[in-house]
Amino acid sequence: MKPKIYITRKIPQVIYDQFTEIADVRMWEEAEIPVPREILLQEVRAIDGLLCLLTETIDEEVIRQATKLKIISNMAVGFNNIDVSFAKKQGVIVTNTPGVLTETTADLTFALMMATARRIVEASDYLRNGEWKTWSPMQLTGRDIYGATLGIIGMGRIGQALARRAKGFKMNILYYNRARKLEVEKELGIEYCDFETLLRRSDFVSLLLPYSSEVHHLIGENEFKLMKETAILINTARGGIVDETALYHALKNGELWAAGLDVFESEPIDLESPLLSLPNVVTLPHIGSASEATRLKMAEIAANNIIQVLKGGQPLTPVKIK
């Protein structure tokens, strides 16, 4: 009897076809709508492999329902949507897709820096709304990136890729990380400093660290008071790292100059969120890894992890926890 696989979102046909060669496959056919919770709970009951996205909460309830489950393959770098500890207790392997989206996410992060600093979205709307009547010296003036100080919180693969881009703009680069990385400092010519010093000195603060309960609302009211009034916050990591209420007040009250956000505490963000009313916030719908090549590669890795395990082998990119 073939093993059974469930896929929680429509994936490229070429990836789907790889699965059908070795397994019976069912898939939620919607590309834009997450699988409803009640359907997910039904579908997992007899499966051996699950391919899911960050939009699905794979908690103890789901894992208990899936009594035959061998592997949960998350098509993402993050895995805070999965109860990894309980999966491990149940003997279920959890995998993710690290590395593949490094350069694409770094590109998007730098694009957000440029868009916020030079008020690109605001200026485009200004033109389209018929407000551009003449040229004036201080019209839509922004902030310089070239030669500015960039503070990176989280010096993993993406943080290092962002630093390489920033070097091309002659930026002064600070970083804060749980563990100091002396080889990276030497290679990239960057400076390690403590968390508060980074916030005080940086013109741009980029969040590129994994989400966990330990960093929930790492950036909040107190942190915004430490930052320069001319500073720009960029978040392409996870929404829960930033206290969005505190961010709104900091931006509204002039304690922070601008923010570029690709992620939010609740996704999709409520259209009534006060953040969306501010002209100095650039918002994106979690597209950090959204290049065609990167998303296809993510799907390939997620699929290959399941295929390897169901064939009796080892996963390519297992999530390791203590």
Structure confidence by residue, pLDDT tens digits, 260-300: 999 999 999 999 999 999 999 999 999 999 999 999 999 99
Residue 315 domain flag: no
Residue 178 domain flag: yes
Taking residues 171-187, report their average pLDDT.
97
What's the confidence (pLDDT) of residue 161? 98
Taking residues 171-182, report their average pLDDT.
97
Residue 320 pLDDT more than 90? no
In terms of domains, do 116 and 192 share one? yes
CA distance 219 to 242: 5
Residues designated catalytic: 238, 267, 286
Secondary structure (3-state) at 318: strand
Cβ-contact 77, 101 below 8 angstroms: yes
DSSP state of 34: P
Cβ-contact 151, 175 below 8 angstroms: yes
Residue 322 pLDDT more than 90? no
In terms of domains, do 214 and 139 share one? yes
Distance of alpha carbon 238 from the chain centroid: 5
> Mean pLDDT across the chain, nearest whole number?
97
CA distance 150 to 171: 7
Nearby residues of 79 by Cβ (< 8 Å), 6 or more positions away: 94, 96, 319
Taking residues 56-66, report their average pLDDT.
98
Cβ-contact 306, 73 below 8 angstroms: yes
What's the confidence (pLDDT) of residue 150? 99
Structure tokens at 240: 């829960």
Residue 36 domain flag: yes
* Pair type for strands 4-7 and 49-52: parallel
Amino acid present at 97: T
Taking residues 95-100, report their average pLDDT.
94
Taking residues 8-25, report their average pLDDT.
95
Planar angle of CA 162, 154, 76, nearest 5 degrees = 80
* Pair type for strands 258-261 and 281-283: parallel
Percent helix, strand, coil in the chain, to 5, is 40, 15, 45
CA dist 49 to 9, 33, 68, 167, Å? 14, 21, 9, 43
Q: Which domain holds residue 188?
A: 102-283
pLDDT in tens, 219-247: 999 999 999 999 999 999 999 999 999 99
In terms of domains, do 95 and 125 share one? no
What's the length of the chain? Answer: 322
DSSP state of 115: H
In terms of domains, do 173 and 250 share one? yes
What's the confidence (pLDDT) of residue 129? 97
In terms of domains, do 130 and 78 share one? no
Q: Is residue 133 very low, low, confident or very high in pLDDT (cuts 50, 70, 90)?
A: very high
In terms of domains, do 168 and 268 share one? yes
Radius of gyration of the chain from Cα atoms?
Answer: 22
Planar angle of CA 206, 210, 216, nearest 5 degrees = 85
* CATH number of the domain that residue 43 is part of: 3.40.50.720
In terms of domains, do 231 and 277 share one? yes
Q: How many domains does the chain have?
A: 2
